[in-house]
Amino acid sequence: MFTKILIANRGEIACRVIQSARKMGIRSVAVFSDADREARHVALADEAVHIGAAPSRESYLLIDRIIAACQQTGAQAVHPGYGFLSENAEFARRVEEQGIVFIGPKHHAIAAMGDKIASKKLAAAAGVNCIPGVNEPVLSPQEAVEIARGIGYPVMIKASAGGGGKGLRVALDDKEAFDGFTSCRNEARNSFGDDRVFIEKFVEQPRHIEMQLIGDSQGNIIYLNERECSIQRRHQKVIEEAPSPFISEATRKAMGEQAVALARAVRYESAGTVEFVVGRDQSFYFLEMNTRLQVEHPVTECITGLDLVELMIRVAAGEALPLTQQQVRRDGWAIECRINAEDPFRNFLPSTGRLVRFAPPQQTMAAADTGRWNGVRVDTGVHEGGEIPMYYDSMIAKLIVHGRDRAQAIAMMRDALNGFVIRGVSSNIAFQSALLAHPDFAAGDFNTGFIAQHYAGGFLAEQVVHDDPGFMLALAAFVRRKSRERALSISGQLPGYGVQVGKDYTVIALGSDGRHVYHPVHVDEFVGETGSATIGVGGKRYAICCVGRLNDICLRGSVNGEPFTAQVERASARNPLGLRLQHNGARIEVLVVSHRMAQLHSLMPHKPPPDMSRFILSPMPGLLVEVAVQPGQKVQSGERIAVIEAMKMENVLFAVADGVVAKVLASKGESLVVDQAIVEFS
C-alpha cells in the first residue's frame, strides 16, 4: 500500500480523497494555485505544493508541474479526482512513465473511451446497445442532412470530443440539421481543438441513467447498481439519486452486464461509469463512458455501503476487489443535490465572493465512513470566510441524504436544504427545493427535459409559492414576540416606561405587485421557558415550539406537532424590525409591528424602485474583459456592449434598445459586483 499520494485537483473532490487516504493511514499532498492558497483542501492535506497562477490552464492543467510536485514530495501515486486532468490519457501515460501510480484506469482505456466515435465502435463490438446513427465523422452540412433523413428525425448532432453540453445540437428538420452541424463543428473546434462531428438518433423523453462499475488488475469487474441523473439543466446534472425510480430489475441487470462487457473490452481497472440513455419503454442505449470518479458517487456509496475512493486506491495498489457481484448491496434510497454558487433568479448566473456565513446542516454520516448510513452528509471544499473564486466551477457543496425509501429521502433532503445556511454569495438552494416539491418529481415521472419543460422561462421568484404561507407569518410573529419577551426582562426600566408586550401584531409583507399587504396575527399562550406559543393567522392556528436563540439563523422546532427547519434573520441593520424568512425554497421579508404602527405605516407613500433602464448593469460578479462601446457612440438594439467572464463562462451583454452612449462607467479588467453600472445611455 502507498504511504503518500498526491491529489491533482482542488475543492470538494480533493477534500474527499484526503478523507479516505487519512482513514487508510496514507499521507496526502495537495496542490494549489494562487487563488487557492487558503483553500480547505490545502489545510486538510499533510503537505501542499504551489503549482501556478489562478487560471487552471496555468496551474491544475499543467502536467509537468503535477509530476514535479510528486517527485518533490515523494508521492508514490496520483489521484486525479474529476475534471481537469482526470480523463487525460497523456497525463496518465506520463505519470506511469515516471514510475508513479495513476489512481484510475490505464491510459489506453482512457484514450479508447475518450473518443466518442471510437468508444461507440468498441461498445457495438462488445455487444452493448448503441443508438442508431453514423459513427464516422460527418464531413459537410449537406451530408448531415442526408444522414439525418436516413436515420429519421429527431437526430442529435454531437462533437466527438464534446462534453458538458458543448458541441451538441438536437435537429428536428433539414434546416436544423444543416445549421446545427455547422454550429457543432465550430463550437467543437473552439472548445476542444477537434472538429469531428457525428449524428445519431435522438431518443424522445429520454432518461439519463448511469451504471457505476469498478475493476481490478486481476480481471475482476463488477457493477455497483445505477444512478438516476435525468434532472439536468443545459446538460448539467442538478439532482442525482440511487437507485432509479424508473427501471426494472431486468433492465438493471442487462445494463450492468453490458457495462461490465464494455469495461472488459478495454481491460478496465479502477472506478468508472457507463452512461445510458433510456427510452420510455426501458430500451437503453450506450451514451459514453466516464473513466474517472463521478461527482455523484456518494449516492452509490450510500446504497452499497462501499467507499469508492478507498476501493480505487486499493485497486491501484494491486489489490483484488474485496467483493463479488453477488455481494453488492442495494439498501435504501440516496439523493444528492449539487449546491452551486449561482443565482437561480438571474438565469443561474455565477455568484462569486466571500462566504460570509457557511453552516451546512448537521452531518449524521460522513464521507469515507462506511460504518454510518441513513442520514445527512455534506461533501465540500469550502469553509466560512473563504472565497468562491471566479476561475473554477461554481460548486459550493454536495448535499447527500440516505433514507429507507424514496419518500423518506425526499423529505430528509427538503429538511436539510431548509437548514443549509449560505450568505455572501447566491446559491441554487431555492431551485433545488422547488424541484423536490414538484409533484412529477415526487412521483418519479420525469426525463432529461423536466427542467426545460417546467421552467422554460427561467426560474422566477413568483414560481416559489409556499404550501402554507400562514406558517411563515406565524413564525415571524413568534420570533418577534420572543424578542419582546427578552426586552421585557432587561433590568433598570423606569416605572411606567417599561416594555409593553402585547398579544396582537400586524405582519407587513410585500405583495406580488410590489405593494405592502397587512396581516393581523394574535399570539397566545406564549411560554418563554419552553419556547412555545399558539399563533392565529387568518382563522388558522399554529402551535409553534422552538427553543432556539434569537441570534440563531437556523431554527428547528415543531408546528402543530410536525417538525420544521427554517431560517430567520434580521433583514438589515437599516431595518432592525424587519425579518427575512426562508422555508421550503420560499423567501419573504416582513415587518412585525403593533396595529398602531401598521396603521401609520399604511399612510406612507409607495416608493417605486429607481428607473435603471438607461443603464447596462452587470448581472453577476466577474471580470470585465471587454467594453465594446465609447461615449457618444450610437447603439442599436441587440448590439454587443460588454463581456463579463466568471467561472469558466463568458456572458455577453447586449443593448435592449436603440440609444447613444453617454458614459462608460467601468473599464476593461475591472472586477464587477452584481448590478454595478457599466454603461449609461443618454
DSSP 499: P
Running DSSP on this structure, what letter comes out for residue 426?
Answer: -
Q: How far is CA 119 from CA 113, 275, 276, 667, 680, in A?
A: 5, 12, 13, 47, 52
- Kindly report which listed range (152-166, 324-338, 418-432) carries the lowest average pLDDT score: 152-166
pLDDT for 377: 97
- CATH homologous superfamily of domain 133-201? ATP-grasp fold, A domain (3.30.1490.20)
Cα(363)–Cα(205) distance, rounded to whole angstroms?
36
- In angstroms, the CA 585 to CA 433 distance is 5
Catalytic residue among 288, 296, 336, 342: 288
Paired residues of 641 in beta bridges: none
**Minimum mean pLDDT among 106-120, 162-176, 302-316, 584-598: which range?**
162-176
The yes-or-no verdict on residue 302 having pLDDT over 60 is yes
Q: Say whether pTM exceeds 0.95.
A: no
Phi, psi of 108 (to 5 degrees): -65, -35
Mean pLDDT value of segment 292-308 = 97
At residue 491, φ and ψ (nearest 5 deg) are: -80, 165
Report, as an integer, the average pLDDT of 232-260: 96
In the CATH hierarchy, which top-level class contains the domain 615-681?
Answer: mainly beta
Q: Report domain extents, the chain.
A: 4-103, 133-201, 207-453, 469-488+500-602, 615-681
For 467-485, the pLDDT digits (tens) are 899 999 999 999 998 888 8
Spatial contact of 19 and 363, defined as CB atoms under 8 Å apart: no
pLDDT at 92: 97
* 161 band by pLDDT with thresholds 50, 70 and 90: confident
Q: Taking 60 as the threshold, does the pLDDT of residue 646 lie above it?
A: yes
- When pLDDT is averaged across residues 517-529 and rounded to a whole number, the result is 88
With a cut of 80, say whether residue 437 has pLDDT above it. Answer: yes
Which one is the CATH code of 207-453: 3.30.470.20, 3.10.450.50, 3.30.390.10, 3.30.230.10? 3.30.470.20
Give the closest residue to 238 by CA, choosing from 381, 438, 14. 438
What is the SS3 assignment for 165? coil
What is the overall mean pLDDT for the chain?
Answer: 92
pLDDT at 510: 78
The pLDDT value given to residue 187: 80
The pLDDT assigned to 347 comes to 84
Q: Would you call 474 helix, strand, or coil by DSSP?
A: helix
Model confidence at 84, in pLDDT bands (50, 70, 90)? very high
- Asked whether residue 7 carries a pLDDT value surpassing 70, the answer given is yes
Residue 383 has pLDDT above 70, yes or no: yes
pLDDT of residue 619: 85
CA distance 406 to 70: 43
Q: How confident is the model at residue 237 (pLDDT cuts 50, 70, 90)?
A: very high
Angle at alpha carbon of residue 9, lines to 376 and 119, rounded to 5°: 95
What pLDDT sits at residue 98? 96
pLDDT at position 605: 84
pLDDT at 1 over 70: yes
Please report which confidence band the pLDDT of residue 408 belongs to, taking 50, 70 and 90 as the band edges.
very high
Q: Is the domain covering 469-488+500-602 a CATH 3.90.226.10 domain?
A: no
Can you give the pLDDT at residue 191?
67
What dotted CATH number matches 4-103?
3.40.50.20
Residue 420 or 462, more confident: 420
Q: Is the pLDDT of residue 678 over 70?
A: yes
**Least confidently predicted of 192-206, 277-291, 619-633:** 192-206
Please count the helices (runs of H) and the strands (runs of E) in the chain.
Answer: 17, 39
Distance between CA 82 and CA 356 in Å, rounded?
28
Q: Can you tell me the distance from the alpha carbon of 75 to that of 28, in angstroms, rounded to the nearest whole number? A: 8
Q: What does the alpha-carbon distance between residue 352 and residue 396 come to, in Å, rounded to a whole number?
A: 10
Taking the C-alpha atoms of residue 194 and residue 356, their distance in angstroms, rounded to an integer, is: 42
- Model confidence at 422, pLDDT cuts 50, 70, 90, reads very high
Phi and psi at 438, nearest 5°, equal -65, 130
Output the pLDDT for position 494: 83
pLDDT, one tens digit per residue, over 169-227 is 899 999 999 999 988 888 888 767 788 888 988 888 899 999 999 999 999 999 999 99
What is the share, in percent, of the chain residues with pLDDT greater than 90? Answer: 69
pLDDT in tens, 530-558: 789 999 999 999 999 998 888 899 999 99
Per the structure block, which three cell numbers stand in for 48?
501542499
* Res. 270 pLDDT band, cuts 50 70 90: very high
Which among 657, 667, 656, 676 is positioned nearest to 629, based on CA atoms? 667
Task: For residue 422, give every residue at least 6 positions away whose Cβ sits within 8 Å of its Cβ, in sequence order, or none.
Answer: 339, 355, 357, 358, 396, 429
Question: Is residue 20 pLDDT above 90, yes or no?
Answer: yes
Residue pair 29/14 in contact by the 8 Å Cβ criterion? no
Distance of CA 172 to the CA centre of its chain: 30
Q: Catalytic site residue 288? A: yes
Radius of gyration of the chain (CA): 28
Kindly state the average pLDDT of the residues 27-48. Answer: 97
Cell of 438: 414538484
Residues of the chain above pLDDT 70, percent: 98
Query: If pLDDT is split at 50, 70 and 90, which confidence band does 162 have?
Result: low
Altogether, the residues listed in the chain come to a count of: 682
Alpha-carbon distance of 434 to 440, in angstroms, equals 11
Q: Does 147 score more than 70 pLDDT?
A: yes
**In this model, does residue 109 exceed pLDDT 60?**
yes
